[in-house]
Structures are given as C-alpha cells and as structure tokens.
Amino acid sequence: MSDILETLQEIREINSCFPYTAPIKAWKEQGKKVIAFQCDYVPEEVIYAAGILPIRLTGDSGELGLEEANAYMYVNTCSFIRGCLELVLGKRYDFLNGFVSGATCDCSRRLADVWIHHRFTPFVHIFSVPRKITPWAYELYEAEVHDLQQKLEDFFKVEITNEALWEAVEVYNKRRELFKKLHELRKLDAPPISGAETLEVLNASSRMPPDQFNKVMERLVEEVSSRKRAVDGKFRLMINGSPLNNPEFVKAIEDLGGVVVIDELCTGIRYWWESVDPAPDPIKAICRRYLHNFPCPRMEPFEDRAQRALKIARDYRIDGVVTEMVRYCVPWTMEQPLQRMIFEEQGIPVLELDLEYGTAGTGPIRTRVQAFLEMLEARAVK
C-alpha cells in the first residue's frame, strides 16, 4: 500500500523522538511538569487537572538489551517492565518530574520499589487498584483517587478544582471519541488504515498533550475518511495479550497476508474504550469510568472480559486471534487458557506467541504466523 497519509507522517515525526518528543519538550520549556504513569487504571484526568502532563511509561518500540535493568531486577521480571527500567537507567526519561505506578502486578510493583529506592524522580506515588468490581472495591478505588489528588496538590502546590477536572474529562473524552471514529472505519471490508499504522497513532497519543493530540487526530480521521484507501489483507485478525508498542511486529503479520482490524490490549482499545459519563461529582464520575472500563486480565470476574472480547470479535468479523504473551507476564499467562477456550468454542482459531517485549517479525514468529494464515486459508476452502 503506497498511499501514505500526510497526518500519519506527522505522527511518525513525533514518535521518532521518543521518549522526549518535541511536544513534551515544548511543554517543559513553558516551565510545566510531566509525570509518567504506568497502568491504564491510573486516572490521567486527575494529573492533567493539576496542570501536569501525564505520559505513559513504556519501553522502546523495538527490543532492547536489558543489561542495566537486569542488574536491578530478577530476569523473570517481564521484559516490558525491564525495558521501561532500561530507558530510565539510561537517562532517557530524565525530563520527568514524577511517576505514578499502578500496583496491578508484581512486576509493576517491583519497578516502583526500585524507582523509590533510587529516587529517579522527585515525586513517586503507588496507586492501588482493586481486583473485583464490588461496592467495597469502588470505595477503595475512590479513596485511592482522592489520595492521588491530595498528594499531587501537596507536592506540586496546586489546587485541583472540580472545574479543572471537568475540563480534563472533556479533553480526554474527546480523544476517546476520536479513537472510536477511527476504529469504526476499521470495520469496513477493506479498512483504510492498517493495524500497524493504528498502533503508531496509539503510541503518539500518550507522548504529547491530549488537546494537541486531539487536533492531530481530527485531521487524521478526516483524511482517512475522505481518501479512497484500502489495506491489503485476506484474513481479519485481532491482536491481544501483553503491552505492545512495536508497530513492526504488527506490520510483520500484515505483510504475510493478515489485516489487523482490532486489538484487545492495554496499549490499545482498553486504554480508551470507555468515556467518563456526566455526574454531579467529577471524582466519582472518573472513578466509575476507570473501574468499569474494559477490564485487565487481573480483574474478576473473568466472564466480563470474555463477553466483551467476544462482542468485539463479532463486531469486527475477525477470522482469528493472535495472542502475544511477553514472557513472565503473569496476568496474561494465567488467563490465556480460558481466553483461548472461549474463542475456540465460538469457532475462532487462536495463535499464541511467547516472546519478549519489543520483538518484531523474527524468523520463528513469521513462520508461525504464516502457518496460522495457511490454516485459516484451509478452513476457508472447506
């Protein structure tokens, strides 16, 4: 596909300077603060309402050598977390003023421990997240959000007003609506944007101020909608699994004849899926959105995730699922047998790939993907 999107070129330019992108640098040059967050359950609106830019902490888009990180963490810590730490130790994130960690798995929690011990940033906060959706869980989550609000106000000497919270909600809701519009276009028989390109857009969304990203996103949606553009690919695929930021991994799948029309990732649709609904209290509204958003594998009950994933599979008419599991990603490896069973019971084949974070289309991965697509071809002939 040679039809290049002009707006996508702009997005690629932003991503090329990761992690200290030009928009973040411009924000810092105004004397403003930046906080990295780790986990979809950290409420960005609260940070943004404090006048601070929240960006997502990730490793690089490609696979890194992890020698430095391995000196601080066990090698059975997932390579996503060690990849993040490798960049921090390499002073790639030195522009940060703070870090908020979601205590959602042991690896994330250990990263926070190392961060606190070595004081990588002046401000560090660990944000606890319940594992069940119950009235008590809601109370716990709301208490955690209020605690984050208080800590931000005390440390940075700011006041987070209800007005500022609603303004932040409006900005982030707009971003979510724009992602929905883009993903609606991926339901078409011939999607006008590829899965790899979509991941590039998702990466950029957490590497610049959200209001600025919304303007870029509006132009992208308009350009994609108005162009006669079609992505080649015989089989419609979903990607799910561990955190994924490497478009080259997705491109390798699409180069072999698949077209990734949807994902089920914390760096994908689970990040933006639900919006904040109006309510008298902005904190309560924000809490409801984050706790009831498309759930992570660590959340119970499993049936909620399974039914949402199946609905997406039907809506996007997928032919198969590619599951990428970063080694030692405990939430995914524990849930995957159930997830696979649910899909296969509905006649949807699943390919499981055990890999390291940042892996692209290596020979073994390409071989397995090619075999999977050939199996889908054989099924289609019958």
Q: Is residue 78 part of a domain?
A: yes
pLDDT tens column, 331-351: 888 899 999 999 999 999 999
* Distance, CA of 236 to CA of 231 (rounded, Å): 11
**Residue 350: predicted pLDDT:** 97
Element (H, E) at 361: none
Question: Which residues, including other chains, have CB under 8 Å from residue 250's CB and lie 6 or more apart?
Answer: 194, 195, 196, 199, 239, 244, 260
- Name the pLDDT band for 14 (thresholds 50, 70, 90): very high
**Residue 285: predicted pLDDT:** 97
* Distance, CA of 25 to CA of 210 (rounded, Å): 14
Domain span at residue 24 reads 16-160
Closest CA to 21 of 47, 56, 69: 56
Question: DSSP per residue over 309-322, as a string?
Answer: HHHHHHHTT-SEEE
- Name the pLDDT band for 360 (thresholds 50, 70, 90): confident
Q: Is residue 123 part of a domain?
A: yes
Q: Is residue 55 part of a domain?
A: yes
Q: Is residue 149 part of a domain?
A: yes
Pairing of strands 320-326, 235-241: parallel
pLDDT tens column, 63-93: 888 999 999 999 899 999 999 999 999 999 9
pLDDT tens column, 33-56: 999 999 999 999 999 999 999 999
**Residue 2: predicted pLDDT:** 54
Given the structure tokens 């006669």, which residue do they identify? Answer: 228
Q: Is residue 106 part of a domain?
A: yes
Q: Is residue 139 part of a domain?
A: yes
Q: Is residue 153 part of a domain?
A: yes
Residue 107 belongs to a domain with what CATH number? 3.40.50.11890
Structural domain count, the chain: 1
pLDDT tens column, 134-151: 889 999 999 999 999 999
Cβ–Cβ < 8 Å for 342, 304:
no
Q: What is the mean pLDDT of the chain?
A: 95
The stretches of 273-345 forming alpha helices (DSSP H) are 282-291, 302-315, 330-345
**Residue 301: predicted pLDDT:** 86
Residue 1 pLDDT > 60: no
Task: Give the residue-averaged pLDDT of 111-133.
Answer: 95
Please count the other Cβ atoms lying within 10 Å of the Cβ belonging to residue 75: 11
- Name the pLDDT band for 231 (thresholds 50, 70, 90): very high
**Residue 382: predicted pLDDT:** 67
Q: Is residue 138 part of a domain?
A: yes
Residue 361 pLDDT > 80: no
Residue 162 is which amino acid?
A: N
Residue 62 pLDDT > 90: no
